Amino acid sequence: MTALDKKPVLEVTNLTVAIAGGGDRANAIEGVTLSVMPGEIVCVVGESGSGKSVTSQAVMALLPKGQLSIVSGSIKLEGDELTTKSQAQMRAVRGMRAAMVFQEPMTALNPVERCGDQIEEVLEIHTDLDAKGRRARVLDVMRSVHLPDPEQMIDAYPHQLSGGQRQRVMIAMALVLDPALLIADEPTTALDVTTQAQILKLVREMQVRRNTGVLFITHDFGVVSEIADRVVVMQKGRIVEQGTKAEILGAPREAYTRMLIGAVPSLVPPDRAPVAGAVTLETVKLNKTYGARTLFKPAGRVVKAASDVSFQIRRGETLGIVGESGSGKSTVARCIARLVDPTSGRIDLDGVDIARMSERKLRPFRKNVQIVFQDPYRSLNPRRNVGQSIIEGPMNFGLSLDEAMTRARDLMGLVGLSPDALDRFPHQFSGGQRQRIAIARALAMEPVLLIGDEPVSALDVSVQAQVLQLLDAVRKKFDLAVLFITHDLRVAAQICDRIAVMQRGVVVETGRTVDVFANPQHEYTRALFSAAPGQGFGNRIGAGEVQKVPAL
């Protein structure tokens, strides 16, 4: 694949991009040097804030005006210097010779224009094909990205397509002019794992068939191991190291790379002893239906978000619910926390059915079930300091201010934060720290069941490992039952005693994590597992165990 005699498609040399006014650092990226050969996939990998997206924006001259500017270095596309080009000249480069695919297929497409027209627009601007020729070309490219029934889909609006199909349209739009360079900025991050697998396969196929050079930005080492030819590791705006996939993944030289790779949880679950505690939570044929008739609204499309969900969690046990978006896993969690009212079924908490309790009767039971949410930036009230957020719950249940503050201080220490930080506000903390605070707030209620609704999905992999360790440690310390919702099979493999796989509101398979991973019974479980990127990567038992991760 790599042909040494060929000229690189993209050559970035010593590129430095400055932040106007300076944030926490003067330069967004500093001295970045990398190249992409024709027909090569170069993965740029790093945590949030590492400058990987800025690098791609600089190449496309898409840096936000007045905020980021190139101060030195050169960017050569097929030997042609880009940094000195005007915006008008860059317009000819974009689309024709270099194209980009973005993360969010929902917002990257214009919602009020037909998909075909959006692809055609590229041709209209950059070529002198007539209408008929353009349409033929659009159909052609849509077929090549394996969109089903292109004759129909060319006239469809983006909302009529699934997320994966939209990303295919984006890729079609990027590739319709056969650019030499394709930049993909986290193109599969917003997609489900099975869709992600298809898109990765498509990118691979396009790059082989058209000999396109691909600069692929990602934070996911699974994806890297799936498609990369070469890997560039970035941290805080600098390149830590680069090399072939085998070099970086197999024998990383730098400690940071080793730490990143070491923090990726393994897909092979450790053998955990079955938990024999008393049953804390039992759901029996739990149903939640949306769209039923109400007083002022006729019955619309009825969606069964959860149907006949039954499972048990014992004291000290972690049950994982895994599934793709829309599978109903969050709905189940929210029913159990009584944030939404279940349509039917039972939720037995220590033997008491709370499914149909009125709000007033429910109040004493509220403290027993606590939830840690996905988004650390929205799960704390920005106007209240950390102490106020933590003591709110205990004081609702009659603790005095002093008692509550003592408890809050203890818990801050427990989750690894300084008790002095109680009078600070959420914006003064990083995502991982906020998630620790959210855990402290939940523990302050002394719950019997802790629900984690994708609690580590928004975190960088190294921070993720620490938070997972914390969750596991508090489970042990307080003998908690934990319901862990995740779409990430690697995380599920490492933290869950048992897992339940959900698809379209139905639990298709339940079992001990080891058994389900080793021998999935249901067809959907098998499809889900085989779609997980980087199957062979990091699959030693105990990989990703957190004690290897230095504190950040």
Partner 1 sequence: MSAEPNVTVAAAPPVAALPTRRQQSSMARAFRNPGVILGGVVILIMIALGAAAPFLGTINPIEPHTSGRNRPPGGEVTVRDDDGKPMKIVYRLGSDNLGRDVYSRVLYGARISIFVGITVAVVSVFAGLIIGLFSGYIRWLDPIVMRLMDGLMAIPAILLAIALVSLFRAGIGAVILAITIPEIPRVVRLVRSVVLSVREEPYVEAAITTGTPMLKLLWRHILPNTVAPMIVQGTFICASAILVEAILSFLGIGIPPETPTWGNVMAAGKDVFYLFPHNIFYPAIMLAVTVLAVNMLGDGLRDTLDPKLAKRV
**What x-and-dash track marks residues 349-378 binding partner 1 by CB under 8 A?**
--------------x--xx-xxx-xxx--x
Q: Find the radius of gyration of the CA atoms of the chain.
A: 25
How many residues bind partner 1, per CB under 8 A?
Answer: 64
Strand partners, 181: 98, 213
Q: Nearest 5°: phi and psi at 449?
A: -130, 125
Distances (CA, A) of 14 to 201, 489, 494: 32, 38, 40
What separation in angstroms does the CA of 530 have from each of 82, 197, 479, 499, 526? 41, 9, 34, 17, 6
Scan for tokens 């014992």, then name that residue: 314
* Residue 447 CB, nearest approach to partner 1 (Å): 9
b/e burial code for range 324-345 (CB count within 10 A of at least 16 → b): beebbbbbbbbbbbbebebbeb
Draw the binding track, 199-218, toward partner 1 (x: CB under 8 A; -: no contact): --------------------
Q: Which of 104, 101, 85 is nearest to 93 (CA)?
A: 85
The residue among 147 and 390 lying less far from partner 1, judged by its C-beta, is: 390
Measured CA to CA, the distance from residue 221 to residue 461 in angstroms comes to: 9
Work out the burial of residue 78: count CB atoms within 10 Å of its CB; fewer than 13 is exposed, 13-18 middle, 19 or more buried: middle
CB of 197 to partner 1, least distance (A): 28
For residue 296, state whether it binds partner 1 (rule: CB under 8 A): yes
How is residue 535 written in tokens? 């199957």
Single residue of 48, 418, 521, 535 touching partner 1 by CB under 8 A = 418
Does residue 50 touch partner 1 according to CB under 8 A? no
Taking the complex as a whole, the smallest distance from the CB of residue 31 to partner 1 amounts, in Å, to 22
Does position 339 interact with partner 1 (CB under 8 A)? The reply is yes
Q: Contacts with partner 1 in 454-513 (CB under 8 A)?
A: 466, 468-470, 472-474, 476-477, 494-495
| SS3 at position 318 | strand
**Region binding partner 1 by CB under 8 A among candidate stretches 83-91, 167-175, 198-206, 430-438:** 430-438
Of 5 and 296, CB closest to partner 1: 296
Side chain identity at residue 399, one-letter code:
L
DSSP class of residue 246 equals I
| Binds partner 1 (CB under 8 A): choice among 445, 448, 458, 483 | 445
- Residue 27 interacts with partner 1 (CB under 8 A): yes or no: no
For residue 537, give the nearest of 323, 188, 322, 260 by alpha carbon. 260
Q: Any contact of residue 441 with partner 1 (CB under 8 A)?
A: yes
Rule CB under 8 A: say whether 392 interacts with partner 1: yes
Q: Is 539 in the site for partner 1 (CB under 8 A)?
A: no
Amino acid at 129: L
Contact 313, 274 (CB under 8 A): no
Q: Are 160 and 119 in contact (CB under 8 A)?
A: no
Q: Which of these ranges, 80-88, 174-182, 250-258, 544-552, lies near partner 1 under the rule CB under 8 A?
A: 544-552
Residue numbers at the binding site for partner 1 (CB under 8 A): 23-24, 294-296, 337-339, 363, 366-367, 369-371, 373-375, 378-381, 383-384, 389, 392-393, 396-397, 413-418, 420-421, 424, 427-430, 432-433, 438, 441, 444-445, 466, 468-470, 472-474, 476-477, 494-495, 545-547, 549, 551-552
